[in-house]
Amino acid sequence: MSAVGRRTFLKAVGAAGAAGWLGACSSDDDSGGGASTSGPLSGSATFTTWANDQEAAAFKKLAADFKAARGADIKIEVLPYDQIRTVVDRRLQANEAPDLFRVSYTDVGSYAENGALADLSDHFGDSFGDAFLPALWSAVQSDGKPFGVPHHTDTSALVYNKAHFAKAGITSVPSSLDQAWTWEQFTDVLRKLKAANPGVSPFAFNYQLFGAYRWFNTLYQAGGTLLDDALENPALDSAQTRKALEFTRSLYTEGLHAPSVLVKRPTYPDEIFPTQKISMIQAGDFLIPSLDAAIKDKFEWGVTYLMRDAGAATDLGGNAVVVTDGAKNLDVAAEFAKFLVTKENMQAFCERTTVLPVRKDLADAKLAYAARPDLMPVFQQQATTMPEGLVKAATSRAFAGINQALVDTMDQYLSNPSAGTDDTVRALTDGVQKALKA
Amino acid sequence: MAGRRAEAWAGVVLTSPALLVFTVFMFVPIALTFWYSLHRYSGFGRMRWLGLENYRTIADDPTFWTALRNTAVFTAVSVPLSIALGLGAALLLNRWMPARGLLRALVYVPVVISGVAAGVIFLRLFDPVTGIGNQLLTQAGLPEINWQGNGAAAMVSVIAVTTWQGIGFGMVVYLAGLQGIPREIYEAAAVDGAAGWRRFRRITWPLLAPTTFFLVVYSIITSFQVFDVVYVLTRGGPGTSTTFLVQYAYDQGFNQRRQGYAAAIGMILYVIVLALTIVQWRLRQRRDASL
Please, which pLDDT band fits residue A402 given cuts at 50, 70 and 90? very high
State how far Cα B158 lies from the chain centre.
13
Strands A278-284 and A201-204: parallel
The total number of residues written for chain A in this structure: 438
Q: Is the pLDDT of residue B119 over 60?
A: yes
Domain boundaries, chain B: 62-290
How much is the average pLDDT of B92-98? 89
Q: Is residue A392 part of a domain?
A: no
CB contact under 8 A, A258 and B239: no
3-state helix, strand, coil in chain A (%, to 5): 50, 15, 35
Please, which pLDDT band fits residue B124 given cuts at 50, 70 and 90? confident
Both A358 and A214 in one domain: the answer is no
Given the cut 0.90, state whether the ipTM is greater than it: no
pLDDT at B169: 95
Write phi, then psi, for B249 (nearest 5 degrees). Answer: -65, -40
3-state secondary structure at position A150 = strand
Both A185 and A82 in one domain: the answer is no
How many Cβ pairs within 8 Å bridge chains A and B?
Answer: 91
Residue span of the structural domain in which A308 resides? 156-315+398-437
User: Which residues of chain B neighbour A89 with C-beta distances below 8 Å?
Assistant: 43-44, 254, 257
Both A328 and A356 in one domain: the answer is yes
Write phi, then psi, for A89 (nearest 5 degrees). Answer: -60, -45
Both A253 and A181 in one domain: the answer is yes
Q: Is A169 left (phi over 0), alpha (psi -120 to 50) or beta?
A: left
Both A25 and A100 in one domain: the answer is yes
Q: Is residue A382 part of a domain?
A: yes
Q: Is residue A84 part of a domain?
A: yes
Both A75 and A10 in one domain: the answer is yes
CB contact under 8 A, A411 and B147: no
A408 contacts chain B (CB < 8 A): yes
Both A335 and A428 in one domain: the answer is no
Number of domains within chain A = 2
How much is the average pLDDT of A260-279? 90
Both A321 and A195 in one domain: the answer is no
Tell me which DSSP letter residue B33 carries.
H
| Residue of B129, B240, B242 to mutate when probing chain A, most A C-beta within 10 A | B129
pTM of the model: 0.80
Closest listed residue to residue B227, CA positions, set B241, B247, B243: B247
A266 contacts chain B (CB < 8 A): yes
Listed residues A368, A387, A406: the one ending a domain: A387
Q: Which residue of B has its CA nearest to A398?
A: B256
Both A100 and A149 in one domain: the answer is yes
Q: Is the pLDDT of residue A22 over 50?
A: no
Q: Is residue A420 part of a domain?
A: yes
Residue B197 or residue A18, greater confidence = B197
What CATH number is given to the structural domain containing A78? 3.40.190.10
Q: Is residue A393 part of a domain?
A: no
Calculate how close chain B gets to A281, using CA atoms only, in Å. 14
Both A269 and A410 in one domain: the answer is yes
Both A324 and A303 in one domain: the answer is no
| Residue of A249, A256, A408, A424 to mutate when probing chain B, most B C-beta within 10 A | A408
User: Which residues of chain B neighbour A261 with C-beta distances below 8 Å?
Assistant: 129
Q: How far is CA A367 from CA A144, A341, B172, B273, in A?
A: 32, 15, 64, 60
Peptide bond into A373 cis (omega under 30): no
3-state secondary structure at position B290 = helix
pLDDT at B44: 85
Q: Of the ranges B26-35, B220-229, B275-284, which is most confident? A: B26-35
DSSP for A14-30, written as a single string: HTTSSTTGGGSPPP--T
pLDDT at B193: 84
Both A52 and A170 in one domain: the answer is no
Write phi, then psi, for A7 (nearest 5 degrees). Answer: -60, -45
Calpha distance B62→B54 (Å, rounded)? 14
Looking at the structure, give the CATH architecture of the domain made up of residues B62-290: Orthogonal Bundle (1.10)
